[in-house]
Chain A
Amino acid sequence: MHEIAMVEDVLRIVEEVARDNGISRIDQVNVVIGEYLMVKPSLFEFAFMAAREGTRAAGAGLTIETEQVELECPGCHHRYSPRKINYNCPRCGNPNPLITKGKEMFVKSIEGDDNTG
């Protein structure tokens, strides 16, 4: 539901990067969304398509890569991927693992033409 807020922040970031790199037209925006966030890619894409109007990304495509959750046990330092929603350490049972991957959302890269091109 607040995909709009996320997408607006994505667009703010890519506009800034495009400006700094002299890119007038962004063709492609590549984002990574951690699995932990449970963001629906379809909703995110829908919001992106609506919000890109009037920006340098007005005609840009979007790819969303889902990043799997990775965990590290603070007790025995075991690194593992959870099976479904139970994150407990499979070695020692510690219920408070560190989420080392898959809880962030970030803009990975953009593609576009520079002004001279």
Chain B
Amino acid sequence: MEIKVMKRVLDRNRDMAARVRDRLGSSNVVMINMISSPGAGKTSLLEHICHLLGDKMRIAVIEGDVATDRDAQRIKKYEVPIVLINTDGGCHLDSNSIDIALGEFDLDNLDVVFVENVGNLVCPSHFDLGETLKLAVVSTTEGDDKPVKYPMLFKEARAVVLNKIDLMQYTNFDHSSFLSGLREVNSPVPLFEVSCRTGEGLEEFMEWVLEEAGN
């Protein structure tokens, strides 16, 4: 016999994400879910954010890491509250671990929580963390085809950072094809072209962060 089921998969993650969103909302905290390939520059960007904005807003960080605490160690020196989530090989964070991590923070005394997701362009887009917005980070060393190859992430991103523009001249990264690909996937999304090495473009990006976090 055949039985109709019609039940959504990963609903428990969605339900928990809704709970996280409520928690954040009631404490007026913005949560930014940073998604990129490994090595695109999420941690570097976070270091700049903590350094440049640490006295302008109250920041906390959730570090998703497959197995180590290396990124968390890099952020520690900025003296922001930080929780490390090891996914034990898992390719994404889920809303349940975020809910637990938030328990470590004094939410009423925070403005923004940055989540560094596990380096991966597909899986994190399938798991709503309850974030306020997603930030996609790509770098010039990954090739210019990421937006068209991973349209889901780039459609859902509230903003896109193109990092490592200092290296563009040494790669075959085609800026105009990157741009046309991105615009095809998401024509209005703000794009920040930066270098975490030279600091170029960071000022404008920080203004955007302040604006988004300033609810």
Contact = CB atoms under 8 A, between A and B. Distances in A.
A60 interface: no
Contacts of B8: 104-106
Contact of A109 (B4, B9, B12, B184): B4
Given A1-B120, A87-B155, A37 B6 contact: no
Contacts of B10: 5-6, 9, 105
A104 B188 CA distance: 25
Q: DSSP majority for the A interface? A: mixed
A80 interface: no
Interface residues of A, number: 34
B184 A85 contact: yes
Given A85-B185, A86-B185, A107 B5 contact: yes
B123 interface: yes
Interface in A83-117: 85-88, 95-96, 104-114, 117
Contacts of A57: none
B122 A106 contact: no
Contacts, number: 83
Contacts of A38: 122, 150-152
Contact of B91 (A2, A9, A28, A85): A2
A117 B1 CA distance: 10
Given A87-B155, A104-B8, A2 B126 contact: yes
Contacts of B150: 38
Interface in B1-35: 1-10, 12
Given A37-B126, A109-B3, A10 B152 contact: no
A31 B4 CA distance: 11
5 contacts: A2-B126, A9-B12, A37-B126, A108-B4, A109-B5
